[in-house]
Amino acid sequence: MFNLPEHSFYMMLFVTLLLVTASVARLLLKVKNPQTDHTELKQRIQSWWWMIIILFGILIASPTVATVFFALLSFLALKEFFSIVPTRQADRRVLLWAYLAIPAQYYWASLNWYGMFIIFIPVYVFLFLPMRAVFIGETKGFIRSLGTIHWALMLSVFCISHIAYLLQLPVLNEQAGALGLVLFLIFITQFNDVCQYIWGKALGKNKIIPKVSPNKTWEGFIGGVATVTIVAGVLAPYLTPLTLLQGLVAGALIAVAGFVGDVVISSVKRDLAIKDSGTLIPGHGGLLDRIDSLIYTAPLFFHYLYYLHY
């Protein structure tokens, strides 16, 4: 079982207090505006409670339990991706090998085997899957199918697996422990989504990419990046080995990457003419709807941190 470091404990407590505040605010809104339908807001907050309880419980349990959890997260994300993006009937056996890459990728992470972790999916799986598809003998739609499968693996498995690897890095901030790295990444990523949404609602006028995401504005983006950069700079020395200045850079990196991850998955949904990637999380949609930003922020934050301190 993890020895819960002091700073990580206080960070968990802080997140819990934020959720309590959000819950109270929703109740006040209901009392003030009883005629307004707050069902979606209620579902979102309830879902956040469940997600935070599950995440915190798993992170506290042990590195092994956390690694298995993130592997399961990758499996569900990959499954959801294949459920919304068309694949060929002939590719069933190829998809099986794609799923089998998940336990292997997370096994390398659990061993702290950086060399194999970093090349397994981008090199070995990338080369193996087309070979397996060739032996099926179906050439129609070959390029589109393999492109879809490879891209899904990179987003759902390779990118997300970097979160599990953070738990294996040598602890350089004893007061935060390995948990601090994961808490910092996830909190700043999700906080960025909230900040960009709030700034956009408050000041947003100039749309960035209206055909992809009509609600995204330059005011929301810039306001979110500025807010998140400052907050990350303050939290970084508290939860990670990063200095204040390095934390500011990490915050800007996460804010921009989170925005890109959001609009990339939005582009996928626009192409498929669907609103949500699924219905797994009430009030949020599918799993990909919830981790879209994290898909981009996890590997970029990991390699930024790894370059500076490992």
Residues 148-175: pLDDT tens digits?
A: 999 999 999 999 999 999 999 999 999 9
- Give tens-digit pLDDT for 216-253: 999 999 999 999 999 999 999 999 999 999 999 999 99
In the structure, what pLDDT confidence band is assigned to residue 2 with cuts at 50, 70 and 90?
Answer: low
Query: Among 193, 149, 186, which residue's Cα sits nearest to residue 164?
Result: 186
8 A C-beta contact, residue 159 and residue 295: yes
- Mean pLDDT across 43-56: 89
Which amino acid does the sequence have at 305? L
Query: Among 234, 226, 236, 237, which residue's Cα sits nearest to residue 185?
Result: 236
Helix (H, G, I), strand (E, B) or coil at 112: coil
pLDDT of residue 38: 67
What angle (nearest 5°) sits at the alpha carbon of residue 266, between those of residues 273 and 162? 135
When comparing pLDDT for 22 and 73, which is higher? 73
The residues, any chain, with a CB within 8 Å of residue 285's CB and separated by 6 or more, are 275, 276, 277, 278, 279
pLDDT of residue 90: 85
Distance between CA atoms of 68 and 47, rounded to whole angstroms?
21
Distance between CA atoms of 223 and 232, rounded to whole angstroms?
14
Residue 121: is it exposed, middle or buried by C-beta count within 10 angstroms (0-12/13-18/19+)? buried
In the structure, what pLDDT confidence band is assigned to residue 207 with cuts at 50, 70 and 90?
Answer: very high
In the structure, what pLDDT confidence band is assigned to residue 177 with cuts at 50, 70 and 90?
Answer: very high
Give whichever of 27-36, 199-208, 247-256 has the largest mean pLDDT.
247-256
Backbone angles phi, psi at 285, to 5 degrees: 105, -135
Percentage of the chain modeled with pLDDT above 90: 72
Structure tokens of 183? Answer: 């808490």
Backbone angles phi, psi at 301, to 5 degrees: -65, -45
pLDDT of residue 214: 87
